[in-house]
Amino acid sequence: MKFLDILSKLSSVIGLVLLVIAVNLLSGVNKQKSSFYEYEGKKINLYLVKNIVPRVDYIITYKEDKVDDIFRKYSTILNEEEIENIENFLELAQKSDFYSVKVIAYMLFDGENIKLYNSAHFLKQPNKYVVGDRLLSRLKSYGLDEFQYESLLKLRGIVYKDKEKFLEDVLASAHLKDTEWLRESIVQLARDSKANAFMRNVSDGVEDKELSSDAIHNIVTGLKEAYRNYNGIK
């Protein structure tokens, strides 16, 4: 009887141990199935996600770009190396005569896009206008007489940063009728090809927003935080 009692008690203990193990395993599975990532109102069950990919989209365009690359959108994997590349591009843009900067970082949970960082749009429009050979030749072809042409030659090579002052001087020197079409033509002829390509992508009336050193710091910090966010759940 003692042996049977011992065997019975041992079976009970083993059964209890197996039950505890089963409960723990089931609890672990349930925790895994209910592991959610939450961000700005969105809730994603990580147990159901196969791939999590950090990405960054950006337009950082400035005068030193090739004409075909002006306002080109770049989209790539977000990592430490890419953040460093973007910081370098931002510093180059800041020193340029004109630029447009917009940076967005996000994570892809399979097909679901969760935005982690969205910068402001920083913009500096071209503000250099010169009476050069292209402008002189085109205005002469429009029918300038010798007196008008010689008068306009006095402005040759002067760099203006005030568009209205530039137009005022050109129209007055060449004794030209002030029309909207002529104003637009003169401005385009006074800028180089890159500046004109840049301005074709800028809406009328939009205001400049400076890309300061603080702004660059904030963009880089935002990207690093986005990448840390990814590393915390991968």
pLDDT per position in the chain (234 positions), as tens? 454 454 455 455 454 444 444 445 444 444 444 577 776 677 777 778 888 899 999 999 999 999 999 999 999 999 999 999 999 999 999 999 999 999 999 999 887 888 999 999 999 999 999 999 999 998 888 888 899 999 999 999 999 999 999 999 999 999 998 999 999 999 999 999 999 999 999 998 899 999 999 999 999 999 999 999 998 886
Strand pairing report for 52-62 and 74-77: antiparallel
Cβ distance 208 to 125 under 8 Å?
Answer: yes
Positive/negative CA dihedral, 225, 118, 77, 46: positive
Instruction: Give CA–CA dist 183/171, Å, rounded.
Output: 9
* Residue 162 C-beta-side C-alpha neighbours within 13 Å: 5
pLDDT confidence of residue 37 = 77
Of the candidates 120, 185, 175, 188, the residue with the CA atom closest to the CA atom of residue 149:
175
Rounded alpha-carbon distances, angstroms, from residue 41 to 22, 95, 103: 35, 39, 22
Q: What are phi and psi of 162, to 5 degrees?
A: -105, 110
Report pTM: 0.77
Torsion angle in degrees (nearest 10) through CA of 41, 46, 50, 53 = 50
Instruction: Give CA–CA dist 111/3, Å, rounded.
Output: 62
Of the candidates 99, 164, 155, the residue with the CA atom closest to the CA atom of residue 132:
155
Cβ distance 191 to 131 under 8 Å?
Answer: no
Instruction: Give CA–CA dist 227/223, Å, rounded.
Output: 6
Question: Tokens representing 34?
Answer: 């209910």
Domain residue limits, the chain: 2-34, 47-125+202-231, 129-190
Amino acid identity at 137: S
